[in-house]
Chains A and B, each alone.
Chain A
Amino acid sequence: MSILILAEHDNASINAATLNTVACAQQIGGDITLLVAGADCGAAAEQAAKINGVAKVLVADNAAYAHQLAENVSLLMAEVAKDYGYVLAAATTTGKNILPRVAALLDVAQISDVTGVVSADTFKHPIYAGNMIETVQSADAIKVLTVRGTAFDAVAAEGGSASVESLSAVHDAGISSFVGEELAVSDRPELTAASIVISGGRGMQNGENFALLESVADKLGAAVGASRAAVDAGFVPNDMQVGQTGKIVAPNLYIAVGISGAIQHLAGMKDSKVIVAINKDEDAPIFQVADYGLVADLFEAVPELNNAL
């Protein structure tokens, strides 16, 4: 059965999450097609064609898809999807925004956040903030899945040579338009792709104190994350939130600083290979998942850690 994947991109390049989605598709098995919907997205399409394991790239290059508005892209994707057995996208905010619309247009169910492929029609995914793993079997002719990146090792970005085909169909629902965006710029690695993440919680007390974590991050080549409490309090922006309703990370090393370890936070990081917790409360639940726990005042421990590296 053939598999259609929504490529995630900014018109210029392909987002790394797409590589994990391709890996999931390979486990399902079948010819893999990437759909690149954008405007002036030739560069992204070129990159897509080089991804290892991709057989075909469909390019829909039109102003209607410039900001990948869900209303427009879902119409396009649902039309293309009729020839496929599977429709996949990364479980990022882009994939989550568009794919359920595609599923509904196709009158099929969606399985969210797939973490395991059991068979051609049966998949595993977490529910209840990761407190349970559900195995579900789909009876639909087209299976629509969003894929949790941390559960699949990325395929190589190079090495493939897919055929590239342009789609001329233009779907402009005319009901939504892009106004603007404020994107975070950072020299550090992206949170979901970093091999080391250091996150701060309410214990950081304010945004300025995150400089303590940034300094450690720079030494380790790490990304900086946060708990919901730190984001709600305005210490750091929303795109840094790790958790059930934020970003899911599974780095080699996760360092939680001044974070208590609520289930909603654990849901976003407990699949990390090694977890370190620094907290002054020895009973904080974060210590139950930590490989190495340090009971200490973060304002002493973090500068000391910084000096020791």
Chain B
Amino acid sequence: MKVLVAVKRVADYNVKVRPKADGTGADLNNVKMAINPFCEIAVEEAVRLKEKGIATEVVAVSIGDKACQEQIRTALALGADRGIHVESSETLQPLAIAKLLKAVVDKEQPELVLMGKQAIDGDNNQTGQMLGALANMPQGTFASEVNIADGKVAVTREIDGGLQTLSLTLPAIVTTDLRLNEPRYAKLPNIMKAKKKPLDVLTPEELAVDVAPRLTTVKVEPPAERAAGIKVESVAELVDKLKNEAKVI
């Protein structure tokens, strides 16, 4: 079966991104960019399905400006077979991304779409679910285990109360949580080989998708600062402070 994996280019998770001085958005100047960690887990899962002989082809798709071809190449180095770049330099919100992915799904007809549960820039946690609604596909969000058998996929999900398992008909969407797998590193020879793998470029116009934003950013500001704390010397002092100064116990 064909698996489509959606990968987003985001600031590396180790970077503490700050707002621009004029408050119009995040300051990404000179910030190291990477594949969204949850998308990396999605790529790994797709590649493992291929190694198990369940997936026949893994297609990595990324939406954004030219630079996100880097993240598609990373996915190809990790084992995806081919890439699709939907090129746009507009600010794209989850609904627009979901519509573009729906158009790609219509073209490619994958049986499984693997995505991250959340992109760590906007922290939206929306796109997979939106794609599910638009494509009328079932969803297994926040997945920690995925098993494909008999034309169905069983997905174990990390929910607030514990774990829940659902059975979904195919084609289906699965969004990854942290415990699904541990992604591998790309090996140098594979990085070289990835440069030769096919990568198609499409545009929102070709896909006939209206990507106009529905939300306008009014401003972006740093969060409230916490007042500086103190170091206590002993457990006794700590307990005393909590009882008599902070009055929380």
A interface residues with partner B (beta carbon < 8 Å): 67, 69-71, 74, 92-94, 96-105, 107-113, 118, 122, 126-140, 173-184, 192, 196, 220, 228, 231-232, 237-239, 244-245, 247, 252-253, 263-264, 270, 273-276, 282, 287, 289-296, 301, 304-305, 308-309
Q: Which residues of B contact A108 (CB under 8 A)?
A: 95, 214
Task: Name the distance in Å between B13's Cβ and chain A's nearest Cβ.
Answer: 7
**CA gap between A139 and B212 in the complex, in Å:** 11
Q: Which residues of A contact B74 (CB under 8 A)?
A: none
Q: Which residues of A contact B26 (CB under 8 A)?
A: 127-128, 132
In the complex, the answer to whether B162 meets A182 with C-beta atoms within 8 Å is yes
Categorize the interface residue count of chain B.
35 or more
Task: Name the distance in Å between A279's Cβ and chain B's nearest Cβ.
Answer: 11
In the complex, the answer to whether B248 meets A136 with C-beta atoms within 8 Å is no
**CA gap between A292 and B142 in the complex, in Å:** 35
In the complex, the answer to whether A308 meets B239 with C-beta atoms within 8 Å is yes
In the complex, the answer to whether A131 meets B216 with C-beta atoms within 8 Å is no
By DSSP majority rule, is chain A's interface helix, strand, loop, or mixed?
Answer: mixed
Choose from B16, B130, B217, B236 the contact partner of A263 (Cβ within 8 Å).
Answer: B16
B interface residues with partner A (beta carbon < 8 Å): 11, 13, 16-19, 26, 38, 93-95, 98, 117-118, 120-134, 136-139, 141-142, 144, 154, 157-169, 172, 177-179, 213-223, 226-227, 229-232, 234-236, 238-239, 241-242, 246, 248-249
Given contact pairs A101-B132, A276-B242, A308 touches B11 in the complex (Cβ within 8 A):
no
In the complex, the answer to whether A94 meets B160 with C-beta atoms within 8 Å is yes
Choose from A136, A176, A252 the contact partner of B216 (Cβ within 8 Å).
Answer: A136
Q: Which residues of B contact A179 (CB under 8 A)?
A: 154, 165-167
Q: Which residues of A contact B163 (CB under 8 A)?
A: 181-182, 237-238
Task: Name the distance in Å between A20's Cβ and chain B's nearest Cβ.
Answer: 14
In the complex, the answer to whether A176 meets B160 with C-beta atoms within 8 Å is no
Q: List 8 A-B contacts (CB under 8 A).
A: A70-B141, A71-B138, A101-B129, A134-B217, A239-B158, A291-B226, A293-B229, A295-B231
In the complex, the answer to whether A110 meets B94 with C-beta atoms within 8 Å is yes
Q: Which residues of A contact B132 (CB under 8 A)?
A: 70-71, 101, 104
**CA gap between A83 and B120 in the complex, in Å:** 34
